[in-house]
Amino acid sequence: MTLTRTGLLEIVRNGESSGVEFKRDDIQNQDFARELVALANLEGGILLLGVEDDGTISGITRPADVLEAWVMNACRDKIRPGMIPFYELIRDVEAGKDVAVVRVSRGLDVHTLWHNNKNSYFIRVGTQSREPSPEELGRLFQQRGNFRAELRPVSGVKFGDLDLRRLKDYFTHVRRQEVPDDEDEGGWATLLFNTEFMVEDGITVSGVLLFGRTPNRFLPQAGIDAAAFPGTTKDYAARERAPLRGPMVPLLNTADEIVESGLVEQALAFIQRNVSIEGGLEGGGARRTEKPAYPLEAVREAIVNALVHRDYLLSSTDIELSIFVDRLEVVSPGRLPNGITPTRMLTGCRASRNQLIKDVMRDYRYLEHSGMGVPRKIVKCMREHNGTEPVLIEDGERFTIRLLR
């Protein structure tokens, strides 16, 4: 979209932002490329050449054709992978002063500045372009689909830190395949490597979350913080608070019965302890009927959704399960993955941040193969149960599923 002189002046009046950068046209090519890399690694944006940091129009000093060639060469030579920006020249923004507009889109890949024979990453934070922390860089790759946090090795985890009983149960009972002898660590390493629960550098995040004896020992964010409050707001005087910890999947017996609970069962048990049963008279008669305040399928889907799709790169926060007198909320850390929005979720749009965890939870029949759990379970069950609509909220780095009582 081309800019008019009026549109450009409006941008200048509003000042620099996460998507707007001002620069003199005598900027060094590596500094120019750094700003474009940071913009592309966020949501894209525009860089105005010939505008001072304070918004003063200084204009370009190089001939227009020379400047355009310089811009294109910098985008090809100083950025990896190279980019082709949208370029235009707005003439006489002020009398005799032209401004060059360089516009870049959100990168499909993570871009780097190539300078002094090395690649450097940059991200946009407010009006500043800076190098990301390791966590920020990991999340950037994850957002672009180039990195899966669930396949990252977890430092210090050894084979003995996994629950061999659950591993054997999963492979023999759920997947129905042969497993090595208990003492054959080499055989187990091969099996875990081939199924992505292990990489060359150790046990992965998925392996620890699903089958770890004590996942929180290595991943503090591996769990659910549950609380039941007496009113409609969070209160220190909760009826019950419980940190729910342990492996994500249960231990089953040969009859497909749960011997030891996983996180889903722990969460459901907490809800059953803290949500009263509603009663009424059947058909206006004398026979009393009882039903839970929330349909089990909807609640379980909300919990599983959080466990499967949360951002495990956010290491300082757990999933939150909060029960109030008028609603139940499940809060998952992180933004929704891969362009998903609450509206798209309600229509059944499917995307996964943690595909391996999703596959395993589906193996345990927590998830439908169609991936339509939100519309088919949460929405449908709540409508049938009490005629309410679930509320899906994305607010910064938190995604909430709210069920109304």
Per residue in 9-44, pLDDT (tens digit) is 999 999 999 999 999 999 999 999 999 999 999 989
Stretch among 182-186, 257-261, 348-352 having the lowest mean pLDDT: 348-352
Is residue 338 very low, low, confident or very high in pLDDT (cuts 50, 70, 90)?
low
Residue 197 is given by DSSP the state S
Helices assigned H by DSSP within 160-276:
164-168, 185-194, 205-211, 215-218, 263-274
> For a pLDDT cut of 90, what percent of the chain falls above it?
68
Helix (H) or strand (E) holding 394: strand 391-395
Better pLDDT: 347 or 238:
238
Model confidence at 371, pLDDT cuts 50, 70, 90, reads: low
> Which of 4, 92, 2, 6 minimizes the C-alpha distance to 50?
92
| Strand extents, DSSP E, 31-136 | 44-49, 79-80, 86-94, 97-105, 112-115, 118-121, 123-125, 128-130
Report the candidate in 48, 105, 117, 125 with the shortest Cα–Cα distance to residue 78: 117
- How far is residue 167's CA from residue 159's CA, in Å, rounded to a whole number? 11
Q: What pLDDT is recorded for position 287?
A: 55
Percentage of the chain exceeding pLDDT 70: 94
Which of 375 and 17 is assigned the larger pLDDT? 17
pLDDT in tens, 378-387: 999 999 999 9
Q: State the pLDDT at residue 286.
A: 53
pLDDT tens digits, one per residue of 56-105: 999 999 999 999 999 999 999 999 988 989 999 999 999 999 999 999 99
Q: What are phi and psi of 163, to 5 degrees?
A: -85, 100
Q: Identify the pLDDT of residue 346.
A: 79
Q: Which of 169, 170, 203 is nearest to 185 (CA)?
A: 203
Q: Residue 202 belongs to what H/E stretch? A: strand 202-203
Average pLDDT (401-405) is: 94
- Does position 375 have pLDDT exceeding 60, yes or no? yes
Structural domains present in the chain: 5-143 (3.30.950.30), 150-216 (no CATH), 219-404 (3.30.565.60)
Q: What is the pLDDT of residue 345?
A: 80
Considering the chain, what is the average pLDDT of its residues? 89
Q: Check whether 372 has a pLDDT greater than 80.
A: no
Give ∠ CA 300-304-308 in degrees, rounded to 5.
175
- Tell me if the bond preceding 81 is cis, omega within 30° of 0: yes
**pLDDT score, position 218:** 92
Instruction: Pick the more confident residue, 44 or 353.
Output: 44
The predicted pLDDT at position 396 comes to: 80
Mean pLDDT of 141-155: 79
pLDDT in tens, 162-217: 999 999 999 999 999 999 999 999 999 999 999 999 988 899 999 999 999 999 99
What's the rounded Cα separation, in Å, for the pair 193 and 197? 6
pLDDT at 133: 87
Kindly report, residue by residue over 286-307, the tens digit of the pLDDT. Answer: 555 677 899 999 999 999 999 9
**Over the stretch 97-127, which tens digit does the pLDDT of each residue have?**
999 999 999 887 889 999 988 889 999 999 9
Q: Which pLDDT belongs to residue 201?
A: 82
